[in-house]
């Protein structure tokens, strides 16, 4: 199995083999800088295709295995969710719920009016309700006269999905499934008890922040904010008058929350041309970083409040993604929001090398876990086109989070 995480700053690829039920062996992970992406969306198809090909080629060299298909996780500012609820009458005389009844209620729930530039990427079945009894995960075979379903529909810009598909087609890569990144990440960094109780997953990427709420084991709602780690880097570069490369390295070495003794500490950085060295206070660096992190925390809280989810996350917030690798970011989030916050790392895979147990690898490792859970003993029919891809994704995620 191969998973591909197409991010704003980095494209990551990972390969694993299934060794037992719910157990995988990660064979290798590769990561290369992304050049054709901006805020999670493709802005240059040729460059995006080259980025994906380079990441997969690096993975092939690591594992010695040729790659022809992959499950792709992606995000972007056009992605959002809609919750829908529908009901149908059971059609059999014995009132035993059939697969046809389930298909009818799902089809009715998916029947959402969308603008012509939007498309449904995924449908997550949250729960079924039979004659008023909720919490049912699989209704087929049960008895009842009234079948209801609650779903979360993930929608995105049609052009964004088509551009990603075309980039894959240019390198002859078959897309097994196209998945909203937080669904991948959740499998790797969230505990089942957290997802059942209610938890917010905040994935801080290079150009976006994914805010997702999970409850009763499935996705409740999600949105994507148009800012990320690159904004912190740019703040440092502009204020300190240095290059983006120098600012990125400074960010990685600094603490989000300034220490009392940082007044006396100085760091040496080079100017924009990389020639003249300058000395700046470590406290100033921390203040620049914390100002942007606090803005992200404020926007996350506002988003959770708009989702009416503040009182639905007793398990707190899990911060993950490449931007979550800033030193002290979880502590600053917790202090500002007054909600329990922990750092999310891909700890649910045994045998994963320590260098990959970092927040930035959550999505690509989670993609392998999801693929292992839904692997089939046959290959899907190799049909072309967006409708065929979405049909395949519906099959792949038919029992997602069940």
Among candidate residues 157, 183, 216, the one where a domain is terminated? 157
In this predicted model, which residue has the larger pLDDT, 316 or 273?
A: 316
CATH of the domain at 282: 3.90.640.10
Asked if 293 and 332 count as a contact pair (C-beta separation under 8 A), the reply is yes
Q: Give the number of domains in the chain.
A: 2
Q: Give the whole-angstrom CA distance, residue 129 versus residue 191.
A: 25
Neighbours of 141 (CB within 10 A): 9
> In whole angstroms, how large is the CA radius of gyration of the chain?
22
* pLDDT given for residue 338 in this prediction: 92
Domain membership of residue 20 (yes or no) is no
Handedness of CA 253, 258, 263, 264 (dihedral sign): negative
Q: Which two tokens stand for residue 29?
A: 């992970």
* pLDDT given for residue 394 in this prediction: 56
373 pLDDT more than 90: no
Q: Which of 37, 219, 7 is nearest to 122 (CA)?
A: 219
Report the range of poorest mean pLDDT among 34-43, 147-156, 219-228: 34-43
Among candidate residues 157, 188, 206, the one where a domain is terminated? 157
Q: Give the whole-angstrom CA distance, residue 173 versus residue 68.
A: 5
Q: Tell me the pLDDT band of 60, cut-offs 50, 70 and 90.
A: very high
Output DSSP code: residue 383: -
Among candidate residues 241, 265, 292, the one where a domain is terminated? 292
Q: Give the whole-angstrom CA distance, residue 25 versus residue 165.
A: 28
Q: Give the whole-angstrom CA distance, residue 151 versus residue 99.
A: 17
Domain membership of residue 92 (yes or no) is yes
* pLDDT given for residue 378 in this prediction: 35
Q: Point out which residues pair with 72 in neighbouring strands.
A: 4, 178
333-372 pLDDT per residue, tens: 999 999 999 999 998 887 788 889 999 999 999 999 988 8
Q: Give the whole-angstrom CA distance, residue 287 versus residue 59.
A: 39
200-253 pLDDT per residue, tens: 999 999 999 999 999 999 999 999 999 999 999 999 999 999 999 999 999 988
Q: Tell me the pLDDT band of 19, cut-offs 50, 70 and 90.
A: confident
Neighbours of 15 (CB within 10 A): 24
Domain membership of residue 138 (yes or no) is yes
In this predicted model, which residue has the larger pLDDT, 143 or 41?
A: 143
Domain membership of residue 98 (yes or no) is yes
Domain membership of residue 258 (yes or no) is yes
Asked if 200 and 190 count as a contact pair (C-beta separation under 8 A), the reply is no
Asked if 283 and 155 count as a contact pair (C-beta separation under 8 A), the reply is no
Q: Tell me the pLDDT band of 54, cut-offs 50, 70 and 90.
A: very high
Domain membership of residue 28 (yes or no) is no
* pLDDT given for residue 380 in this prediction: 34
CATH of the domain at 90: 3.30.1490.110
Cα angle 334, 340, 345; round to 5: 90
User: Taking the complete model, does pTM exceed 0.95, yes or no?
Assistant: no
Q: Give the whole-angstrom CA distance, residue 97 versus residue 78.
A: 37
156-209 pLDDT per residue, tens: 999 999 999 999 999 999 999 889 999 999 999 999 999 999 999 999 999 999
* pLDDT given for residue 351 in this prediction: 73
Q: Give the whole-angstrom CA distance, residue 147 versus residue 300.
A: 36
Domain membership of residue 104 (yes or no) is yes
Q: How far is CA 177 from CA 152, 211, 263, 394, in A?
A: 18, 22, 51, 9
Domain membership of residue 238 (yes or no) is yes
Q: Which two tokens stand for residue 149?
A: 């379903």
Q: What is the residue-wise DSSP string for 202-256?
A: EEE-SS-EEEEEEETTEEEEEEEES--HHHHHHHHHHHHT--HHHHHHHHHHSBS
Q: What is the residue-wise DSSP string for 55-107?
A: HHHHHHHHH-----EEEEEE--TT-EEEEEEEEEE--STT-BPPHHHHHHHHH
Q: Which residues of 167-190 are buried (b: 16+ CB within 10 A; e: fewer)?
A: bbeebebebbbbbbbbbbbbbbbb
* pLDDT given for residue 393 in this prediction: 54
* pLDDT given for residue 402 in this prediction: 47
Q: Which domain holds residue 131?
A: 80-157
Contacts of 306 (CB under 8 A, 6+ apart): none
Mean pLDDT value of segment 95-112? 93
Maximum distance among all Cα pairs of the chain, rounded to whole angstroms: 84
Asked if 390 and 121 count as a contact pair (C-beta separation under 8 A), the reply is yes
């Amino acid at each position: 199995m191969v998973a591909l995480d197409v991010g704003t700053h980095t494209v990551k690829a990972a390969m694993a083999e299934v060794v037992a039920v719910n157990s995988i062996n990660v064979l290798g992970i590769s990561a290369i800088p992304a050049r054709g992406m901006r805020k999670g969306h493709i802005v240059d198809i040729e460059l995006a295709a080259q980025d994906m090909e380079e990441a997969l080629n690096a993975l092939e060299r690591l594992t010695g295995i040729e790659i022809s298909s992959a499950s792709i996780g992606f995000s972007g500012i056009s992605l959002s969710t809609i919750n829908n609820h529908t009901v149908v009458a059971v059609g059999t005389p014995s009132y035993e719920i059939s697969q046809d009844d389930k298909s009818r209620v799902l089809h009715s729930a998916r029947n959402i009016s969308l603008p012509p530039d939007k498309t449904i990427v995924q449908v997550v079945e949250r729960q079924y309700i039979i004659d008023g009894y909720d919490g049912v995960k699989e209704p087929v075979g049960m008895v009842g006269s009234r079948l209801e379903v609650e779903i979360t529909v993930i929608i995105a810009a049609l052009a964004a999905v088509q551009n990603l598909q075309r980039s894959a087609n240019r390198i002859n890569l078959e897309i097994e499934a196209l998945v909203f990144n937080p669904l991948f990440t959740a499998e790797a960094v969230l505990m089942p008890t957290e997802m059942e109780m209610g938890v917010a997953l905040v994935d801080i990427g290079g150009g976006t922040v994914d805010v997702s709420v999970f409850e009763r084991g499935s996705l409740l709602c999600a949105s994507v904010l148009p800012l990320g780690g690159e904004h912190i880097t740019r703040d440092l570069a502009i204020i300190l008058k240095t290059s983006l490369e120098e600012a990125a390295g400074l960010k990685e070495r600094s603490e989000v929350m300034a220490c009392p003794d940082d007044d006396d500490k100085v760091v040496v950085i080079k100017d924009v041309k990389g020639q003249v060295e300058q000395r700046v206070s470590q406290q100033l660096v921390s203040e620049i970083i914390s100002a942007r992190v606090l803005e992200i925390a404020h926007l996350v809280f506002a988003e959770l409040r708009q989702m009416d989810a503040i009182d639905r996350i007793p398990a707190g917030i899990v911060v993950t993604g490449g931007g979550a690798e800033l030193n002290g970011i979880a502590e600053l989030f917790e202090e500002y929001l007054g909600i329990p916050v922990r750092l999310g790392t891909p700890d649910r895979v045994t045998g994963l090398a320590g260098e990959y147990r970092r927040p930035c690898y959550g999505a690509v490792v989670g993609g392998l876990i999801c693929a292992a859970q839904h692997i089939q003993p046959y290959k899907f029919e190799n049909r072309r086109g967006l409708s065929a891809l979405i049909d395949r994704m519906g099959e792949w995620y038919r029992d997602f989070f069940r």
